[in-house]
Amino acid sequence: MVTTGAISAREQSHGLLRHMLRIRRFEEKSAELYSAGKIRGFLHLYIGEEAVAAGAIPLLGADDAIVSTYREHGHALVRGMSAGTIMAEMYGKANGCSRGRGGSMHLFDAALRFYGGNAIVAGGLPVAVGLALADQMQGHPRVTACLFGDGAVDEGEFHESLNLSALWKLPVVFLCENNLYAMGTALERHEAQTQIYAKADAYGMASAIVDGMDVLAVHQAMQVAVDHIRAGKGPYLLEARTYRFRAHSMYDAELYRSQDEVNEWKHRDPITLFTTKLQQESLLTDAELAEMEAQIAAEVAAAVAIAEAGPWEPVEDLLKDVYTCPA
Amino acid sequence: MPRMTYREAVRSALREALQTNPRVFLMGEDIGRYGGAYACSKGFLDEFGPERIRDTPLCESTFVGAGIGAALGGMRPIVEIMTVNFSLLALDQIVNGAATLRHMSGGQFSVPLVIRMATGGGRQLAAQHSHSLEVWYAHIPGIKVVAPATVTDARYMLGLALQEPDPVIVFEHALQYPMEGNLDESPPQDLFRAAVRRAGNDVTVVTYGGSLWKCLQAADQLAEQGIQAEVIDLRSLRPLDMDTVLTSLKKTHRAVIVDEGWRTCSLAAEISAQIMERGFYDLDAPVARVCSAEVPIPYARHLEEAALPRVERIVATIKELLAHHE
């Protein structure tokens, strides 16, 4: 485990577990509210993939940036966006993080340097390259983390962005959340080379692969990636092998994978694995876990209350913010 | 008034931006060591260095997206896409990215990005290098689109575009770079106001960019025949300054729109619709349009000439329009 300063292994492991549990309970509530008709549109749940966000994102500092995808509730939560502002956004309320203009797929937070919430697969990679370029040109010692799925690797922008960032030695970590499916198309049916991290070689870029169901492994691998970048060695591609337990969006017939396969992966539930490990190592008591769950349940309930109570954006403001300065 | 080419005006505008704002940098294909496909940045690499004059790989989508990211990150990028034809490879970043970010984030992010690109046909470059797709971008809420048609506008509109906090696309007609014109002493103050380039009482000719000189030539020919055309240079394609057009129409009661884009779903179609909506009772004749023929622009000179708006066709269209309801 990577420990820093006075933070004990116990405290740090509780932090990682708390992140994962917050995401899990938040997503479970989101699914429930979707079924209740409170949340509409597309809703892409992160259940099963929690170890990636929980392990990787805490290694970013306040000045660092994140560019994310449409499956980003977990990223936003770990980054520090409040559950209430995210839930309100999914309700479409004016107190949502994007004032109800974005919804589930478009969470933004300027103060946290959280640049969305991009629902075009691979669309965020060039933007992350540009953010890193701006930092490099201005002498900011920052890292930009760009999260995307395995489907993005099919797109030209993945290759263009790896090439450009390696060419210019930009401080960006490309974190591929490889959940083995591009929507419903299995990895081996959409990639000729299924070892995604290996593609970095073609661009002279450092890379690694990590078990995305193991939060500690992700944490350590991300530490290596971030250290590499902070040492001025250029960009880094980290592939985390993970799995989504739920449908691509809220509902799909899941014709593309077997229930056996899903069950097999559920045996490797990142939260169960980590909880068991901590209990075996006497780093977590039942009482601590129960308290954590209770706190998270209260947080999620409060988030729902915030969303329920939130106002609707007045229709008169429909055209607001299309431009900063309307001509 | 000093005379200079359109290219020199663009160069001068770029140089001024680089000299006065340390956050400005240029990024695009072959803009550095090659000097720019249209030589607009020739010598800049030596003058400003490779940090600020960035040759990119051939990856329109990614270097435009990087421009968005750099703008979000506090820089003031000027991205050059060699031609509008290649900008189709960057459509996603422009349309789904630059144009949407502010609204989609609830007003949290502005994207102060300027994208320059050459447009238009007339150089026998065939169907993949002769598009006039300005209207595609003018269709999109969230971006602003301008088309400097004169040396003075080429010299000063870029600076105005750089004062905008939102994405601005600047279209430069490729035929214009070598054309000479007078540089006005007083720079234009408004990026989005149309300009009356020639006053007249008989017909309003609405145009922009690389079609302006054709319209002015047509107006000269018509003047010899006693017809006074008022030529309006839109300058901005989004937003559209329809007030200037409608004011002219109240005087002339006839309108011809000259637009190098294809007629179907063209900018000319939009202007015509707005005239119908807001100026219907001022019209003495149907609005006429001179646009490109509905064909991929062909290579052979005579065919290309037949496809693009020509001075003779503008003259003939205006004369028909005047004959229509004498």
Write the secondary structure of A123-175 as one string of H (helix), E (strand) and C (coil).
CHHHHHHHHHHHHHHHCCCCCEEEEEEHHHHHCHHHHHHHHHHHHCCCCEEEE
CA A301 to chain centre: 22
pLDDT at B45: 98
Query: B235-250 as b/e, with b when 16 or more CB fall inside 10 Å?
Result: bbbbbbbbebbbbbbe
Choosing from B80, B129, B172, B173, the catalytic residue is B129
A123 chain-B contacts, CB cut-off 8 A: 65, 92-93, 96-97
Q: Are residues B150 and B203 in the same domain?
A: no
φ, ψ for residue B232, nearest 5 deg? -105, 125
Tell me the percentage of chain B whose pLDDT exceeds 70.
Answer: 99
Structure tokens, B127: 């169907």
Report the pLDDT value the prediction gives residue A7, as an integer from 0 to 100. 75
* Other beta carbons within 10 Å of A141: 13
The answer to whether residues B162 and B199 belong to one domain is no
Would you call A125 and B62 a contact, using CB atoms and an 8 Å cutoff?
yes
Contact, A246 vs A25, CB < 8 A? Answer: no
| Rounded Cα–Cα distance for residues A131 and A247 (Å) | 32
- Gyration radius of chain A over CA positions: 19
pLDDT tens for each residue of A80-136? 999 999 999 999 999 999 999 999 999 999 999 999 999 999 999 999 999 999 999
Which whole number is the average pLDDT over B107-132? 96
**Predicted-complex ipTM score:** 0.96
Backbone angles phi, psi at B193, to 5 degrees: -95, 130
Res. A5: pLDDT tops 80? no
Rounded-to-integer distance, Cα B64 and Cα B77, Å: 10
Instruction: Tell me, yes or no, whether B278 and B201 share the same domain.
Output: yes
B29 is catalytic: no
Amino acid at A97: C
Q: Which of residues 259-318 of B touch A (CB under 8 A)?
A: none
The CATH homologous superfamily for domain A9-317 is: Thiamin diphosphate (ThDP)-binding fold, Pyr/PP domains (3.40.50.970)
State how far Cα B298 lies from the chain centre: 22
Residue A147 predicted with pLDDT over 60: yes
- The proportion of chain B whose per-residue pLDDT surpasses 90, expressed as a percent, equals 98
Residue B61, amino acid: S
Mean pLDDT of A184-205: 97
Task: Using only the alpha carbons of chain B, give its radius of gyration.
Answer: 20
Q: Judge if B147 and B265 occupy the same domain.
A: no
Element of type H or E holding A85: helix A83-91
Domain co-membership, B237 together with B136: no
Tell me the shortest Cα–Cα distance from A109 to chain B, in angstroms.
7
Q: Does B63 touch chain A (CB under 8 A)?
A: yes
B1 pLDDT band (50/70/90 cuts)?
Answer: confident
Range list of β-strands (E), chain B: 3-5, 24-28, 53-55, 76-83, 114-119, 144-146, 168-173, 180-182, 195-198, 203-207, 229-233, 236-238, 255-262, 288-292
Which residue from B51, B65, B165 is facing A130, i.e. has the nearest CB? B65
Catalytic-residue membership of B129: yes
Alpha-carbon separation of residue B162 from B16, B76, B168, B234 (angstroms): 11, 8, 8, 19
Domain containing residue B90: 3-182
Question: CB neighbours of A187 closer than 8 A, spacing ≥ 6?
Answer: A150, A178, A180, A181, A194
Q: Point out the residue among B61, B69, B110 whose CB comes nearest to the CB of A128.
A: B69
**Same-domain check for residues B120 and B24:** yes
Q: Cα(B6)–Cα(A105) distance, rounded to whole angstroms?
A: 44
Q: Is the pLDDT of residue B142 over 70?
A: yes
- Mean pLDDT to the nearest integer, B257-279: 98
Q: Give residue-wise pLDDT tens across range A263-275.
A: 999 999 999 999 9
CATH code (residue B111): 3.40.50.970
* Residue B188 covered by a domain: no
- Range B131-156 average pLDDT: 98
Of B182, B213, B240, which closes a domain? B182
Q: Nearest-CA neighbor of A324 among B99, B140, B4, B250?
A: B99
A4, pLDDT greater than 90 = no
DSSP letter, residue B93 = I
Q: How far apart are CA A79 and CA A59, in angstroms?
A: 10
Residue B102: inside a domain, yes or no? Answer: yes
Q: How many CB atoms lie within 10 A of CB A314?
A: 9
Q: Annotated catalytic residue: which of B60, B80, B172, B260?
A: B60
Do B114 and B167 fall within a single domain?
yes
Pairing status of strand A65-68 against strand A144-149: parallel
Taking the Cβ of residue B22 and every Cβ of chain A, the question of whether any pair is shorter than 8 Å is answered with: no
Whether B187 is covered by a domain: the verdict is: no
**Assigned domain for B66 exists:** yes
Spatial strand order of the sheet with A206-211 comes to A114-117, A65-68, A144-149, A172-178, A236-241, A206-211
Average pLDDT over every residue of A190-206: 97
For the cut 80, the answer to whether the pLDDT of residue B247 exceeds it is yes
Q: What is the pLDDT of residue A253?
A: 87
Q: Is B104 on the interface with A (CB under 8 A)?
A: yes
pLDDT score of A6: 55
Lowest-pLDDT choice from A38-42, A86-90, A247-251, B9-13: A247-251
Q: Which pLDDT score is estimated for B300?
A: 97
Q: Per the CB < 8 Å rule, is A134 touching B65?
A: no
Cβ distance B70 to A130 less than 8 Å, yes or no, reads yes
Please check the confidence at residue A1 and state whether its pLDDT lies above 70: no
Contact present, B260 and B121 (Cβ < 8 Å):
yes
**The amino acid at B82:** M
Q: What is the pLDDT of residues B74-93, one digit of tens each?
A: 999 999 999 999 999 999 99
Mean pLDDT in residue range A45-52: 98
User: Closest Cα to residue B82, out of B31, B150, B155?
Assistant: B31
What average pLDDT does the segment B12-20 reach? 98
Q: What is the mean pLDDT of chain B?
A: 97
Q: A163 vs B57: CB contact, 8 Å cut-off?
A: yes
- Give the predicted TM-score (pTM) of the model: 0.96
Question: Would B190 be classed as within a structural domain?
Answer: no
pLDDT at A93: 98
Q: Has residue A233 got a pLDDT over 90?
A: yes
The separation between the first and the last C-alpha atoms of chain A, rounded to the nearest angstrom, is: 55
Mean pLDDT of all residues in B255-284? 98
Residues B52 and B172 both lie in one domain: yes
Same domain, B144 and B44: yes
CA angle B266, B272, B277 (to 5 degrees): 130
pLDDT of residue B185: 86
Q: Give the per-residue pLDDT at B325.
A: 58
Residue B124 lies in a domain: yes
In chain B, the number of structural domains is: 2
Q: What's chain A's length in residues?
A: 327
Task: Give me the residues paired with residue A105 across strands.
Answer: none
Which of B182, B210, B238 corresponds to the end of one domain? Answer: B182
Contact A156 B66 (CB under 8 A): no
* Coil, helix or strand at residue A242: coil
- State the residue for tokens 């947080």: A299
The overall average pLDDT reported for chain A is 96
Residue by residue, DSSP assigns A199-227 as GGGGGT-EEEEEETT-HHHHHHHHHHHHH
- DSSP code for B258: E
Main-chain phi, psi angles of A60, to 5 degrees: -90, 140
Residue B245 is predicted with a pLDDT of 98
One-letter amino acid identity for B268? A
Average pLDDT of span B273-287: 97
**Which residues of chain A does B96 touch, with a Cβ-Cβ cutoff of 8 Å?**
120, 123
